[in-house]
């Protein structure tokens, strides 16, 4: 067994790895009883001569190779979402390039599932940004995705949250956009725990009242809504909304705290998935979904439940910094050669946080090669002066 010294409660203590890695196996999404998207991260280029806080530098080869890995596992790719640091280092010019490249890669393989984020993040919220300005911004990004042959994930808008005077402004924007889209979209309701600038989305800080406005929009355009992903980290709110959706409209769980039970569902329904944590635990998610497809619920929970404490740690407050944990796990698993992020975001979590992530990843069996992961963890410790 491999042992490593890790920080814990202000001390350095030994930790012995015990997890047996979940085997990596290619799977077809047709074997899954749920639609499952992984919101994918981007791989930074650490050798670029740039100013990391100002200019993103992306390793396109590694970034796109990671998407192929997700497709190999049977998972869909939710492209250019907040997991890709959209609005936290990745601007619209880079997101647009990412979307076009990823759609081209998806077209090269049979059955690759992909949907792409379209929002208004090229606007800077301010008093001069009106609802009409926001509508034009949405239309610009939607046109870009549709012109490249992509499906739309309609992202929440910081500019709309700042400009809207109440629920009617949200209804106006979503009504016009949904009338225009070519194919049914996935609406993304991202909670303020993920992005504080989205506080009061749908015109109300009370999530239940906000939900009523959102449902009004969906009911009016059910033929243009494939589903809604809500990221409120509340299974109760998700189930409440799931039970109120029009027939044929899917609930895509964005609850990185309670996804296992929400995907499994109950006697009244279940959630599909569009999750950032599926980037980090892709082999476990793939194996669990395949087990659920065989109606082996016991195996589904055996595989997925141990990943929940890891996910809750990665997504702990401030939740918007979860991308650091996702990328760190990709580094530990050899999916990129460095722990560098767009915007220098690798600095948003402490060494103690990363050490606990390492322990939980081992217990969840998602360290693909424990020896490699241990070597890389030691390198990160050394950078921080811990040997």
- Tokens found for residue 380: 């990160």
Q: How confident is the model at residue 287 (pLDDT cuts 50, 70, 90)?
A: very high
- The full set of domain ranges for the chain reads 22-343
Neighbouring C-beta atoms of residue 230, cutoff 10 Å: 25
Q: In whole angstroms, give the CA distance from residue 137 to residue 155.
A: 12
Neighbouring C-beta atoms of residue 211, cutoff 10 Å: 20
pLDDT average, residue stretch 279-292: 98
Say which residues have a Cβ less than 8 Å from residue 170's Cβ, sequence separation at least 6: 160, 164, 201, 202, 203, 213, 217
> Do residues 291 and 264 make contact, with C-beta atoms less than 8 angstroms apart?
no
Neighbouring C-beta atoms of residue 110, cutoff 10 Å: 7
Tell whether the model's pLDDT for residue 163 goes beyond 80: yes
Q: How confident is the model at residue 88 (pLDDT cuts 50, 70, 90)?
A: very high
Q: What is the pLDDT of residues 310-346, one digit of tens each?
A: 999 999 999 999 999 999 999 999 999 999 999 999 9
Q: In whole angstroms, give the CA distance from residue 259 to residue 275.
A: 8
Q: How confident is the model at residue 271 (pLDDT cuts 50, 70, 90)?
A: very high
pLDDT at position 91: 95
pLDDT at position 282: 98
Q: In whole angstroms, give the CA distance from residue 153 to residue 132.
A: 20
Tell whether the model's pLDDT for residue 387 goes beyond 90: no
Q: In whole angstroms, give the CA distance from residue 328 to residue 52.
A: 17
Q: How confident is the model at residue 1 (pLDDT cuts 50, 70, 90)?
A: confident
State the pTM of this model. 0.96
How big is the chain, counted in residues?
387
Q: What is the pLDDT of residues 358-374, one digit of tens each?
A: 999 999 999 999 999 99
The residue written with tokens 């990843």 in the block is: 361
Q: Are strands 76-79 and 272-275 parallel, antiparallel or unpaired?
A: unpaired
Tell whether the model's pLDDT for residue 126 goes beyond 90: no
Fold of 22-343: TIM Barrel (3.20.20)
pLDDT at position 29: 95
pLDDT at position 125: 83
pLDDT at position 216: 98
Mean pLDDT of the chain: 97
């Amino acid at each position: 067994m491999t042992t490593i010294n890790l920080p814990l409660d202000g001390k350095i203590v030994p930790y012995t790895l015990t997890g047996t890695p979940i085997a990596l196996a290619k799977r077809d999404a047709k074997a899954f009883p749920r639609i499952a998207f992984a919101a994918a991260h981007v791989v930074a280029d650490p050798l670029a001569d740039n100013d990391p806080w100002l200019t993103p530098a992306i390793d396109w080869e590694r970034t796109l190779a990671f998407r192929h890995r997700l497709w190999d596992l049977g998972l869909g790719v939710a492209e250019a979402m907040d997991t890709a640091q959209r609005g936290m280092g990745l601007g619209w010019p880079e997101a647009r390039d990412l979307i076009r490249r990823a759609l081209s890669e998806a077209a090269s393989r049979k059955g690759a599932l992909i949907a792409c984020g379209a929002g208004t993040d090229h606007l800077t919220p301010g008093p001069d940004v009106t609802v009409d300005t926001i509508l034009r911004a949405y239309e610009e990004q939607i046109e870009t995705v549709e012109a490249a042959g992509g499906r739309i994930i309609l992202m929440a808008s910081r500019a709309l949250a700042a400009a809207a005077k109440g629920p009617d402004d949200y209804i106006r924007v979503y009504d016009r956009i949904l009338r225009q889209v070519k194919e049914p979209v996935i609406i993304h309701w991202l909670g303020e725990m993920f992005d504080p600038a989205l506080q009061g989305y749908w015109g109300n800080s009370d999530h239940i009242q906000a939900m009523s406005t959102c449902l009004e929009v969906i009911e009016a355009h059910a033929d243009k809504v494939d589903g809604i992903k809500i990221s409120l980290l509340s299974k109760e709110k998700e189930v409440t909304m799931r039970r109120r959706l029009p027939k044929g409209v899917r609930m895509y769980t964005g609850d990185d705290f309670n996804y296992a039970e929400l995907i499994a569902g109950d006697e009244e329904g279940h959630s599909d998935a569009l999750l950032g944590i599926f980037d980090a635990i892709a082999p476990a998610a793939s194996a669990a979904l395949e087990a659920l497809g065989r109606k082996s619920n016991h195996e589904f929970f055996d595989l997925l439940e141990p990943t929940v404490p890891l996910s809750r740690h990665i997504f702990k407050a401030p939740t918007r910094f979860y991308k650091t944990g996702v990328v760190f796990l990709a580094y530990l698993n050899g999916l990129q050669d460095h722990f560098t992020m767009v915007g220098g975001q690798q600095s948003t979590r402490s060494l103690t946080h990363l050490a606990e992530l390492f322990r939980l990843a081992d217990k969840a069996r998602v360290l693909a090669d424990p020896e490699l992961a241990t070597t890389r963890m030691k390198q990160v410790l050394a950078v921080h002066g811990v040997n």
